[in-house]
Amino acid sequence: MEKSQIIKRKVASSNHGSSTAPSSQLKNVHTKMKKRKTDFLNRINYSHTFSVVVLPLVVALYYIVVSTTHSLSAYCSSPKNSTLVFSGLYFHVTLLAFTSGYHKYFTHNTFQTNSKGLPLFFVVFGSALGLGSVRWWASLHRAHHHFTDDTERDPYSIKRGVFWSHCGWLIKKPKITTFYQEFMEQEFPLKLHVEESKEEEDFRSDLNEVLSNVEGEDEEDQVDYDLLNIQRLTLYDHKLVLWQNSYYLFCFLTTGLILPTLVTYFFFGETLTNGLIYPGIIRMFCSQQCVLLTESICHKSYLFSIPTQPYNDKNSSRNCHNPILTVLTYGQANQNYHHEFPHDYRNSSSVLAFDPTKWFIWSLYKIGLVDDLCSTPSDLITQIRIQQSQAIITRAKSQLNWGTPISKLPRITPKDFKRILASSNHSDRIYIVIQNIIHDITPFMDQHPGGVQLLKASHGKDATKAFFGGVYGHSTAANNLLATMRIGILDVGNEEEVWRRVVKEEGNVDEDKGRNKGSEQYKTAEAA
């Protein structure tokens, strides 16, 4: 009796232990799932999700519901022509503020301006695209240029997929947030607004001191007012960037949604709904796609995009020559050019290239609002194209059989060569000397157009004159084929002709070394 009770207690205790194990595992699984959910929610960039995903989807759903519901369709009026015209004009205004301001001015410093109003226009109306503040977008774009195709440090690396490089990077925050925060702080430090008052005060005092001493100085010793003005405006630009970073959402909502809605409502008598949808959300969506396509489609080799890499094939950037894609990217489809020459205010060296941003900046230059336009010298562009073409040719040549290089062929004396000819082991071979190089023609003798007998007649002899026109002037293809049959150098003491050929055929090696040595001074053409 007691024994059976002990067994029952053991069974009961064992059942209790086995039940606690699954419960603890379930608890761990639940904790991990909760943590994943929290991490996922924390990585969502809600402001960009709202502007890039939510607003366009709301408009799409609105029209789907209205078109399928007869009772609601009566309340949905078509936009007025004036609204559509304003939407088109506002599309260009905001997109140019972004491409010229966010991209060319603040990110790449392709030009300078003496105007305070122009940078203000850039930051205020560039916000209307809903792609973030200047500080955030410009910093990440610089990281993209600096770490192109790095799956961790390139914020929209094409190696993470087309969707990610197009808009995924906007919706989801990067994993290495610390790196990007430090990078942004390096490019546009937040502490500037704390120290700026003292720095600007010191600058003003130095300026006043310099100006007080200008009188009586020689003309060449006088102060450079342009340089002082640039320094002052640099402080202004930084201050403007930090201000917009703090009030970005206000700028976005005002210029992106509220302003176009009110303009069409009060000036054109448009409905508030159409004013919000057409010059607001649809205009914003189209502008976004013009910018985002350059980082996705123009970094991938699609046949329809007609991609080329004439300047650098070490990264994923492409020049896309499809005219439709050129228009869709607002003239920014030549990404291979832009990545090689990011400091250029143009996106192509061609005068006829479709590039509204270039035309806009050039127009500002002509009316005096912009100066110091940066454009890459044509000679440097030509050099890069030649180097890239040479690199492609070198890679292609390395895949082909060009024969043993002359410099690596063994030297054979005339005495040894006669011994080889007399040897029974070589009785079935045909050896011909051309320009002091011994060739084994045996593999080709049955294919020779002149017949085997002509080759046998030249066996062991110098057939240089016959090969180069005495009997028949052979083509370049014949010369290339002959090079694959080299077996040695006939050492007759006259090396000048042989080494002249070495320099001619293998001199590219030294040229490449010299070019690489020279390129060490400048890591990129932009630095040059």
How sure is the predictor about 200, in pLDDT bands with cuts at 50, 70 and 90? Answer: low
Residues 204-258 pLDDT 10s: 566 566 556 545 545 444 445 454 444 555 789 999 999 999 999 999 999 999 9
Residues in the chain, total: 528
| pLDDT reported for residue 230 | 47
| pLDDT reported for residue 281 | 98
Q: What is the spatial distance between Cα 439 and Cα 273, in angstroms, rounded to a whole number?
A: 84
Residue that is written with structure tokens 């603040």 in the block: 106
Residues 172-186 pLDDT 10s: 988 888 899 999 999
pLDDT at residue 338 is higher than 90: yes
411: three-class secondary structure by DSSP: strand
CATH superfamily of 406-519: Cytochrome b5-like heme/steroid binding domain (3.10.120.10)
Q: Which sequence spans correspond to the domains of the chain? A: 46-209+223-288+356-375, 406-519
Strands 411-412 and 486-490: parallel
Least confident of 9-13, 72-76, 287-291: 9-13
Residue that is written with structure tokens 């402080």 in the block: 235
Q: What is the spatial distance between Cα 338 and Cα 358, in angstroms, rounded to a whole number?
A: 13
| Full-model pTM | 0.77
* Nearest by Cα to 391 from 464, 449, 314, 315: 314
Radius of gyration, CA atoms only, the chain: 36
Residues 409-467 pLDDT 10s: 899 999 999 998 888 888 889 999 988 899 998 888 888 877 788 888 888 888 888 88
Percent of the chain with pLDDT over 90: 56
Alpha-carbon distances of 338 from 49, 59, 501, rounded to whole Å: 28, 34, 41
153: three-class secondary structure by DSSP: coil
* Nearest by Cα to 306 from 329, 327, 323, 289: 323
Long-range interactions of 243-247: CB distance < 8 A, separation 24+ = 243/123, 244/123, 244/124, 244/127, 244/133, 244/134, 244/135, 245/133, 245/134, 245/135, 245/136, 245/188
How sure is the predictor about 170, in pLDDT bands with cuts at 50, 70 and 90? Answer: very high
pLDDT at residue 149 is higher than 80: yes
